[in-house]
Amino acid sequence: MLMDGELHERLADMIAKAADGAVDPAEVLAGQARLSDLGVTSLAYLRLIDAVDAEFGVELDPAAVDSLDSLVDYIRLHG
Amino acid sequence: MVAAAPQERYLTIVRSFAAPRRRPVTVERAALALERLVARHESLRTRLTGPRDAPLQQVSAVVRPLYEVVTEPVEEVCERLAAEPFAYWDEWPLRVAFVVDGGYVRHIVLILCHLAADGHAAELLVKDFRLLLLRDTLPPPDGATPRELAAWQHSDAGRRVSEEAIAWWLEEYARMDPVPPYAHTPEEPRFLEATLRSPGLAAATRAVAARNRVSSSTVLLAAAMRLAGGLTGQRHCGMRVIVNNRFAAGRRDAVATISQEALVVLDLDAPSFDALVRQAWGRAMRAYRQAQYDPYAMEAAVTGAGPGIRSFGCFNDQRLAQEDGAAGASTEPAARRNGAPGEKIEMAAARTDGTGEGKTEVAWTDAMDRNICDFRLHVGGEPGGMEVSCYADTALLPPSGIERYLLDLEGLILEAARA
C-alpha cells in the first residue's frame, strides 16, 4: 500500500486525469475543497470510480466521497 | 432497432458541419477524406447479416463509400437523406452529402445508422472527418474496436459484468412499486411527441444543481421522476437513463453504439425537492455503473418481475456540451426536431416563464403509429434555451397530459430555483 502522501498525490493525478485536465492536481492537493466545487463533473466521477476500481480494487460510493481526504479514507477503509 | 421497424427513422443520427475555410475543400478531397474515415472506423463498414430474428453484424474489409454532391440548403439535405430508415441488411450505415457552392464543398452532411454510432460516436466521427479534410493521416484510433468490444462482451470478464448488472437491476426491480395499466383510449397516430422550449429552464436547472452539488441532468431526472410518480401513484419509481458507457479506459473514443440504459429507482417520498435531487445523484451514479449488459439476458431476467413491476419510461439528456461544467453521463444523438414530412407542426401551448426572459412554448414535434418505448424524455437545445421533448403512448398519457407534464416539469424546476 502507498504511504499517505503518495496516495494523496496518486489520487490527485487520477482525479485530474478523470476530469480531462479541467482540474489541476495541485489544486486538489492544496486544500479541503469539495471535488464538485473544483469542477469534477459526474462524468469525471464515473471515470474516477472506474480507475480506482482498476487500480485499488475498491468500488467507491460516490455519495460518500467528495474530497481528496474522504477519498483517501475510503480507500484505506475498503482497500 | 429492428423491432422498431418500419417507423424507426427517429433513431437515425443527423450531423452536419461546415467544411474548413482556410483550405477550400474540393469534392475529390472530401471523397478521399470520406474513404479514409470509413477505412478508419470498422463500424462504418458493418451491416447486418443472417435472419431477421437473430441477426449478426458483419464487418467488411473494404468499402467504397457513396456520397451525393448537392446544392440544396443543408437542412433540406438532412431532412431528405434521413427520411427513410436504413436498410440494415443491404445498406452501409452512413449516408453522406457534400453541399457545394462556387466549386467547393461548403458543408458536409452525415446521416448515421444508430447501429453504427451513438451520439458520442457521431461527435467523434465529425471530429475525425474535419481533421481528415485538413490532413492526410491521423494517429491510429485510441482504444478498443467494435470487434474487440464484442469479443470482450462474450469473454468471461464481459459475461461477469453483464451478470452483475442484471443482478443489480433485479434488486432495483424488487424496490419498485407497480405501474398501473394504461387508462386512456389511444389516439391515431398512437405516439405523440411535444417539445417544450424554455428560456428560463437551463438557468434554473443550473441553480438547483449548484445548490445541491450535482449535475444539471440529475435535477432534470429528479423532476421527471417526481412527475412520473405523480402519474403512476408510485412511491418507488424507476426510470431508465441512457448512459454512454465510455467511462472505462479504452472506451472513451469508441466509435460504435455502446450506450445502454441504466435503471434509476428513487423513493419519491423525500422531504423536499432538494433532498430528492441529492438522492437522485447518488442513485444515478450507482446506476450508471450498471449499464453494460447483454440486452437479451436482461429482458429475460426482468420479464416476470411481477404484475406492473416495470420501469416508467426513458430519460435521455442529449446535451453533449457540458455547458454547466456538470452535465450528466447520458449522451445520445440529437433527435430530429421536426415532424414527419408533410405534418403540420402545431403550437400546443405558450406561456411566459415568469423570469422575464421570454416565452415558454410547447409544440407538437412528432407522431407515429408504433414505437418500442411508451414514454421518453429528451433534453437538448442550446445553452440558455433548453428543449425538453416528451414522447408518449397516448394510451398512457393523452395529448393534454403530455403538454401538462412538460409545463409541470418546467414549473417544478423554476419554483425550486426560486426557493
Does B306 reach chain A within 8 Å, measured CB to CB? Answer: no
Q: Kindly list the domain boundaries of chain B, sorted by start residue.
A: 8-141, 157-418
Question: C-alpha cell of B76?
Answer: 433540406
Does B358 reach chain A within 8 Å, measured CB to CB? Answer: no
Size of interface A-B (CB pairs under 8 A): 58
Strands B191-198 and B236-243: unpaired
Question: Nearest CA of chain A to the CA of B105: how many Å?
Answer: 34
**pLDDT beneath 70, residues of chain B:** 1-7, 320-357, 383-384
* Rounded-to-integer distance, Cα B128 and Cα B275, Å: 42
Does B160 reach chain A within 8 Å, measured CB to CB? Answer: no
B264, B262, B280: which is closest to B272 by C-alpha?
Answer: B280
At A21 the pLDDT is 82
Which of B214, B325, B329 comes nearest A46 by C-beta? B329
* Rounded-to-integer distance, Cα B172 and Cα B164, Å: 12
Question: Nearest CA of chain A to the CA of B256: how many Å?
Answer: 19
What pLDDT, in 10s, does the model give residues B165-201? 999 999 999 999 999 999 999 999 999 999 999 999 9
Length of chain B: 419
CATH 3.30.420.40 matches B157-418: no
**SS3 (DSSP) at B279:** helix
* Rounded-to-integer distance, Cα B240 and Cα B419, Å: 28
At B3 the pLDDT is 63
Which of A46, A47, A63 comes nearest B282 by C-beta? A63
At B324 the pLDDT is 40
| Angle in degrees, 0-180, between the axes of helices B295-302 and B156-175, rounded to the nearest 10 | 30
**Rg (alpha carbons) of chain A, rounded to whole number:** 11
Does B205 reach chain A within 8 Å, measured CB to CB? Answer: no
**SS3 (DSSP) at B297:** helix
At A22 the pLDDT is 83
What pLDDT, in 10s, does the model give residues B233-292? 999 999 999 999 988 878 888 999 999 999 999 999 999 999 999 999 999 999 999 999
Residue B62 burial (10 A CB sphere; 0-12, 13-18, 19+): exposed
Neighbours of B89 (CB within 10 A): 14
Question: Nearest CA of chain B to the CA of A6: how many Å?
Answer: 22
Whether the pLDDT of residue A31 is over 80: the answer is: no
Which of A34, A49, A59 comes nearest B213 by C-beta? A34
Domains and their CATH numbers in chain A = 4-78 (1.10.1200.10)
Question: Nearest CA of chain B to the CA of A59: how many Å?
Answer: 10
Residue B360 near residue B416 (C-beta atoms within 8 A): no
Whether this model's pTM surpasses 0.80: yes
CA distances for A74 relative to A11, A53, A78, angstroms: 12, 12, 6
- Rounded mean pLDDT of A13-24? 88
Long-range contacts of B162-167 (CB under 8 A, 24+ apart): B162/B292, B162/B293, B162/B294, B162/B297, B162/B298, B163/B297, B164/B290, B165/B290, B165/B291, B165/B292, B165/B293, B165/B298, B166/B293, B166/B294, B166/B297, B166/B298, B166/B301
- Rounded mean pLDDT of A18-42? 82
Backbone torsions φ then ψ of B389, nearest 5 degrees:
-105, 140
* Rounded-to-integer distance, Cα B363 and Cα B403, Å: 9
Amino acid code (one letter) for B98: F
CB within 8 Å: B247 and A50: yes
At B337 the pLDDT is 38
- Judging contacts by C-beta atoms under 8 Å, the chain A residues touching residue B161 are none
* Rounded-to-integer distance, Cα B145 and Cα B142, Å: 9
**What CATH number matches the domain at B8-141, 3.40.50.970, 3.20.20.70, 3.30.559.10, 3.30.365.10?**
3.30.559.10
Which of B248, B249, B327 comes nearest A41 by C-beta? B327
**Do B157-418 and B8-141 fall under one CATH topology?**
yes
At B344 the pLDDT is 39
Does B214 reach chain A within 8 Å, measured CB to CB? Answer: yes
Name the residue of chain B whose CA is nearest to A20's CA: B252
Q: How confident is the model at residue A1 (pLDDT cuts 50, 70, 90)?
A: low
Does B157 reach chain A within 8 Å, measured CB to CB? Answer: no
CB within 8 Å: A42 and B215: yes
CB within 8 Å: B284 and A54: no
| Whether complex ipTM tops 0.85 | no
Name the residue of chain B whose CA is nearest to A45's CA: B285
